[in-house]
Each structure stands twice: as C-alpha cells, then as structure tokens.
Homo-oligomer: A and B are copies of this chain.
C-alpha cells in the first residue's frame, strides 16, 4: 500500500541513491531553532503527514523513523499509519536518540543544514564510534526539487513596542547592556539567530510565525553597529514596517537583507582579522556555522549560551505589573467561557470541541491589546484529552457531553504579556478514577504552588513536589511540569524549567513559569491543571534568602469532584483561598450572571 507520504519518501530515497547518502535527517524546526516553524519549514509534515511541532525524521534506504516524545505518541501512531514511518519514542527510559541511532546505520548523512542546530550536528559526530567518522553533507533546502509549491519565507508587518506602556527596557539600554557583556566576554560581535531573542533585544514584533509574534531574521551586534538581517525582497514595505524600520534606524540599527547574513559576517571577519564572534550553537543553524567556520578561525568563533536567554526570562517591574493585569483580563475571558460552556451543554444543546474553541478565542479577541492566541487551543473532550497536545479538528470534532471531563489548554498574546492556562472541567457525572486522577493532579499543582525554596534552587529539584501525589499512587505523566513563558513572545521559553530531567538553571525572581502536572489515560480521559507562577523574593531569615511563587493565573478551579482524602488539608486550604481570591478579583468585572455563577462555583469551602 502506498500513500502520498510513502511516495514522497521513495523520491527522497532516489535523491539519496543518486547522491550516495546513507541517511537523510529532516528536522521539525526552521533556520532559527523555532518550536513552531512557519509553513515553509513544515518539512516533517510534508514528508510524513505528522503535524505536531516536535518531531524529527530519519530516512535510510530500508527504514523511515519519526522521533518524538510522549506528548505525541498517540497522535504519531494515528498519523503515521500507512506511511511506513515507524515511531521512535524519546524521553523514555532506554530511548535511543537520533545521533546514537545514526551511528549504527549510516556513514554519509545528509541534512538541511539550515534547519539543524550546530549542537545537533556535534551530537551526531560525537555519537559516532572511535575512528569511524561520520560524514555530514549540508544540503540547504534539500527538498526544493521535490516539494512543489513549497511556501516561501514569510513577510509580515514589523511593529515596534512602546516600552513605556508595555514593559521592558528601551532598545538603546538593551544594546548597551549586551555591548558591556561583550566587553566582559572579550568578543567583538554577537550573532543572534533565535527569533525571540532578536524580538526582545530590538523591541520589535512580527507575525511571521503563527502564535509567535516574531520576524524571521538574524541580528549582528558589534561595539559600533547593530545590523538586522530582516528584509526579504525588494517590494515596497508596508507602512507599519516602514515606520518601524525608520525608528530602528534612528536608534542606530541598520536594516539589511535576510539572505545577506553570511556574506556580511564573512566580510566583517575579513575586514578585521582579529575580530571574535560569539554564537550560540544550541540555536545557530549548522549551515551558517559551517560557512563562518571557513572564514573565522576556531579561536575567533566563540561558542556559548546567548546572554539574552536568561536576561529575557527575568521580567522587569513594568512587565510584572502588566502581567498581573493581563492574567486578570485573561481570567475574565476564561470565566465567561466556562460559564457559557456549562450553560450551553447543560441546556442540552450540542456543543462541539471546535465550537468551544472558537468561542474562547472570540472572548479573548475582545480584550484590549489582544494580538492573537499564544498557541492553538487544545479543546478536548473525554478520550481526546488523553492526547496532551490534541489538535481539535474544525470539522467533525467531538460533542461535549454533560458528563466526564473536558480539558481546555489555551492562551493569548497581548501587548502586555503572553498567557497560558489549562482547566479540566467536570461536565457532569464522573467516574471514581476520573475524580481520583483530577484530585491527585490538583494536589501536585498546589503542592508546587506552595513551595518556598532557597536561592539557587532549580526547577529540577522542585519537580518531584508536583509529581509525588501521583507517584505515590503509581501514576505519572510524560512531559515537563513547567516551562518558561515569554512576555508577548513565545509561550515556551528557557532557560528555566520544572522537569524530571536535569536542568542546572536556578529559578530567579522575575521568572514566569508554568505549573502543569497532568495525567493521561489513553481511550478514556485526560487531566491537566495549569497555572502560571511568578518566582519572587520571599525574604531573608538567619537560614538564608528565600524565594516562592506568586500565582498569576486568575481563574477558578472546579471543586465538585474533588476527593478530599487525596487532596489533604493543606492543599484544600490553599484552594479555598485561591478560589475566594479569584471571585473577589474578577466578580466586579464580570457580567452579573457570570459573577453569580462564579460565586456558586467558589463558595463551597473544602476546609471549615
């Protein structure tokens, strides 16, 4: 049986044969290491039909495999059926990653160097056994000849941010900061290739990537120049972009063509043959690095973690103030949505997951400063919620029935911040196992929310708090407990995380992180409770300096199916206080009927 995807894979194998390649690695990312690439770089989807944002493919002459993590196991099995592509599970015990796998099956490996990070290529090389070096062939835009109507690099309007209203520091201050950092590091230039780092540093936003307010570009900063490689063609600029570019130029930022980045860097390297350039191999693509390596000598190409990653993660006072208000506004939309959902479903009307998703987006869209959703709404009923990253189909989505659990994970992009929230909603009668799962996950979320910890503690050290109620009952979930959240930027950002996997980055005051333990039962139901928490200073005692979390998310958590014996008195007291806070904060701004409904939802006290 052949289908469109197995045909495409066959054509890739013909390409491999005629070029003498043993394997082709296809990345799910773009030239900037983006989590969500724009249409041009959906190469994994084009080749295999797998649509999730995390997946990489390896094709050899007798094998085709997709590597992805537990969030997408079920989806991968469904979407890969009939393609001949096998699922390789990552982030599970004994998992074999692509570099190790390749070392057994291939010597000549072709990659689209634009879409592979320097780090990935290094890992492939390091995994190759002693003396049997692997040969990497860089083939930029490898599928251009096979992929008809491949989308071009997107061009969307570029806007600048008014930091005095919308938070953050002026770009002049940010450029001054990074130049001081360069002096300390003894480098003469830094190349930024991560799109959110560039957007943060220049206080610019675009919409080249769905859900992410970014402009596809590179940025070179030296002591006396800042060159933004962002222009895509010679067409006249739209008025917004024209204004933005003028503003940037008046701040000393030069605007150049996207495709010109390599040549410009090489010219710079040749003009000053002692200049040292800093690059971040975790985000820089191999194609550019490979070209730079042939111009800069090894000592002049300094590899390290971009300083923007950490600086961007620590929000400043204005950003934090704005975020508090933004999460209240977002909570109003959420409560209106939850009221609408309960009312509609209990009235007996057929509401589908898709309709619910559209309703939620329309409520967010009415909030001033809304600039779009921060990711594709996950609106999932019953067994669909067992897919952690379920993609709700526009046509034929499930009807939300007045029983069991409905899960909604969503967020907005606002000029004043990015939101992300998950609520699991009991729609009526629930089974004991649903109630128990709901309660255990909730206790984990609350136990983590209540944490106090000394400066220097990492999310890795706190992760077990969120999991222990599940672990003690033989349950677990396969994804991280928490990811950093950008400020009107990517909904997923580093460097901090709350994960079972080691991450040495301490949590710092000003960092915004999700807290989202979960449980998934394939074919039955899924539970996830997600609040966003701000790490903050919690004072000093004779025993040290303390940090804790302020919960930014402001939306009630349903108490109707909680099993108190699994929640425990401390988490119950926390939840009582939280729900009272949500009602107190939101009710003045809610339509009367929603406020009344929220009162009934939040008035039950778990602790007397």
Size of interface on A: residues with Cβ below 8 Å to B: 33
The smallest C-beta distance from A497 to any residue of chain B, in angstroms, reads 14
Closest to A520 in B: B543
CA distance A570 to B472 in the complex (A): 12
CB of A500 closer than 8 Å to a CB of B: yes
Segment 438-490 of A: residues with Cβ below 8 Å from B = 450-457, 460-465, 468, 470-472, 474-476
Q: Which residue of B lies closest to A522 (CB)?
A: B542
Query: Among A471, A539, A544, which residue has the most Cβ atoms of chain B within 10 A?
Result: A471
One digit per residue, 1 when the CB lies within 8 angstroms of any chain B CB and 0 when it does not, for chain A 516-549 equals 0000000000000000000000010101101000
Residues of chain B within 8 A (CB-CB) of A456 are 93
A307 within 8 A of B: no
Q: Is the CB of A472 within 8 A of B450?
A: yes
A170 close to B (CB within 8 Å): no
State which of B93, B465, B471, B568 has its C-beta within 8 Å of the C-beta of A453: B471
Chain B residue numbers with a CB within 8 Å of A464 are 451, 453, 457, 461-462, 464-465
The distance from the CB of A600 to the nearest CB of chain B, in whole angstroms, is 29
Chain copies in the assembled complex: 2
- Closest B residue to A565 by CB, please name it: B569
Question: How far, in Å, is A419 (CB) from chain B's closest CB?
Answer: 28
Question: A455: which B residues are within 8 A, CB to CB?
Answer: 93
A472 nearest in chain B by CB position:
B452
Does chain B have a CB within 8 A of A502?
yes
Q: Let me know if A474 and B541 touch, CB within 8 A.
A: yes
Chain B residues with CB below 8 A from A500, complex form: 454, 457, 461
Q: Are the CB atoms of B472 and A544 closer together than 8 Å? A: no
Q: Which of A454, A456, A474 has most B Cβ within 10 Å?
A: A474
A252 within 8 A of B: no
- Give, as a whole number of angstroms, the nearest-CB distance from A480 to chain B: 13
User: Known interface pairs A461-B463, A464-B462, A500-B461. Does A474 touch B539 (Cβ–Cβ under 8 Å)?
Assistant: yes
- Report which of B450, B504, B568 forms a contact with A570, defined as CB distance below 8 A: B568
Q: Which of B93, B465, B543 contacts A465 (CB 8 A)?
A: B465
Residue contact B451 to A468, C-beta cutoff 8 Å: yes
When distances are taken between beta carbons in the complex, the residues of chain B under 8 Å from A470 are 543
B476 lies within 8 A of A454 (CB): yes
CA distance A476 to B538 in the complex (A): 14
What CA separation (Å) do A465 and B463 show in the bound complex? 10
Nearest chain B CB to A164 CB, angstrom units:
35
> Residues 536-576 of chain A: 1 if any B CB is under 8 Å from the residue's CB, otherwise 0?
00010101101000000000000000000000111000000
For the complex, give the distance between the alpha carbons of A570 and B468 in Å.
Answer: 13
Cα distance A450–B471 when bound, in Å?
A: 11
List, in ascending order, chain B residues with CB within 8 A of A474's CB: 452, 539, 541, 543, 546
Q: Inside 8 A of A570's CB, which chain B residues have their CB?
A: 568
- Beyond A460-B461, A461-B500, A471-B546, list 16 extra A-B contacts (CB 8 Å): A93-B455, A450-B472, A451-B464, A452-B472, A452-B474, A453-B464, A454-B471, A457-B500, A462-B464, A464-B465, A465-B468, A476-B544, A502-B502, A568-B568, A568-B569, A568-B570
Interface CB pairs A-B, < 8 A, 16: A93-B456, A93-B544, A451-B471, A451-B472, A452-B468, A453-B464, A453-B471, A461-B464, A464-B465, A465-B468, A471-B546, A474-B539, A474-B543, A474-B546, A476-B543, A502-B504
Question: 9 shortest A-B CB distances, which residue pairs?
Answer: A474-B541, A476-B543, A452-B471, A452-B472, A461-B464, A475-B543, A453-B471, A476-B544, A93-B456
